Amino acid sequence: MAYADERYPLHGITPTETYLSISKIVEAATKTKCDGVHPGYGFLSEDSSFVMACNEANLVFVGPTAEAISKVGNKLDARKTMREAGVPLIPGTDGPVKDENEAVEFAKKAGYPVILKAVYGGGGRGMRIAKTNDEVRRFYRVSKLEAASSFGRDLIYVEKRLTSPRHVEIQALADSGNVITLGERECSIQRRYQKLVEEAPSTAVNEELRKQLNDATKKGLSAAGYTNAGTVEFLVDQQNKFYFLEVNKRIQVEHVVTELTTGIDIVEEQIQTAFESKLNLSQNEVHVNGWAINMRINAEDPRRDFIPSPGAVIQFHAPSGPGIRIDSHLYSGYLIPEYYDSLIAKLSAWGRDRTEAIRRMQNALEEIEILGVPTTIPLYRVLLRDKAFVDGQFDTTYLNGFVANLNSELLDLGLYAAAIAAAMRSTNPPLRHRLQQRFHRSHWKTSARTSNHRRDM
């Protein structure tokens, strides 16, 4: 925000009072006389009513049309559109279940486990896995309450739960008559359905499966009359069969790994499509080069079941070096609020292959410093040494077992970070100066950018 030419306050504190207020955002856009609105990757970015409000105010909405959003706007509408396009679906209810008894009846027929989902949900909210009739009844009530709180609508439907699947998604760009795909992303490292680590390409996808996923994406988005950037998400089972999961009708947090491996600026393509109604490139101009990994740095404590950790950032130092990209608003002294998502930085590493990408990420994780609040950084430092991750042998259940076995190691790392943070608060100037020098030293520079880090980006 410090680099913005103009700033316009959305008066309020909570998301409902600010970034979920259509009237306030449209008012800000019209008062600043801007031409269009880019909705980012949260809040109203997938809300067709916001698109229509922008259109009524003569503002270009940088995203899909309201009509396209309505066809894939909620999970049930998306399933209907994909079914008609011939895309494989996970068995599930055709509509929202009217009560817990209907949910139980479906679960009995489909077989346990099942997953209860908020029709208008996203980001893992309103979702619960049930393994018994009693759990279906209990989680039905919990999911409805969470859905109503998070999305304003409490409709719930039920799907069969796949056993140990991989979560793979296809990034797409589309204009009025053309859908192109930019390759797949691997998103199986997640906690409570919240993605933590993403990479491109995926170790689970061979050329045959890649073609099938790309073809399904093009068919599904074409059937919806989709334009602009979007992502079609799939689950891949242990037999390499894939099933449609959902459509994300916006730019995604993890789009950076696609940009690093293709060299395509997805946000630029979004703006181009929104204002000119056509893409800058064709499918034969898309080439995947190398490997990229993204890690979401969250203000959460992995030692305490990932509890959010708002508070003051005492010290922030960003890593650097070939192939390293960091997207963050952090600075030393920044106060992380309690009202918004816990994501505070995205750290990405590119390499000529996966081994180099991992090695570069390891160096970057050693160099980055965020002191004052617990973060997921210690978890990632340990994760990158785990054999299953290094070998690319994991699924959506992997992180649960991994974290359960890490309590002692994460505790040691957490205590060390807490001790450093306490020292940084010290009123002893020489001590603070020595610590600042320590945390501003770049591992990349001191290693003279050795052979592990060859290649000018």
Structure letter (DSSP) for residue 449: S
Residue 148: Cβ within 10 Å count: 15
Q: Which residue has the tokens 């390891």?
A: 362
| 41: its two tokens | 């990757």
Residue 419: Cβ within 10 Å count: 10
CB 165 within 8 A of CB 236: yes
Q: Which residue has the tokens 């505790």?
A: 411
CB 90 within 8 A of CB 244: yes
* C-alpha to C-alpha distance for 165 and 183, rounded to whole angstroms: 19
Q: Which residues contact 271 (CB under 8 A, 6 or more apart)?
A: 36, 38, 62
| 283: its two tokens | 């499918």
Distances (CA, A) of 358 to 258, 292, 383: 16, 9, 11
CB 151 within 8 A of CB 118: yes
φ/ψ (deg, to 5) at 101: -65, -40
| 348: its two tokens | 């990405």
H or E stretch at 32: none
Q: Is 434 a residue of the active site?
A: no
Q: Which of 161, 166, 210, 250 is labelled catalytic? A: 250
Structure letter (DSSP) for residue 162: P
Question: Hey, what long-range contacts does 352-359 have (CB within 8 A, 24 or more apart)?
Answer: 352/290, 352/291, 352/455, 353/290, 353/291, 354/199, 354/203, 354/291, 354/293, 354/392, 356/290, 356/291, 356/323, 356/452, 357/199, 357/290, 357/291, 357/292, 357/293, 357/323, 358/293, 358/384, 358/390, 359/452
What residues are labeled active site? 250
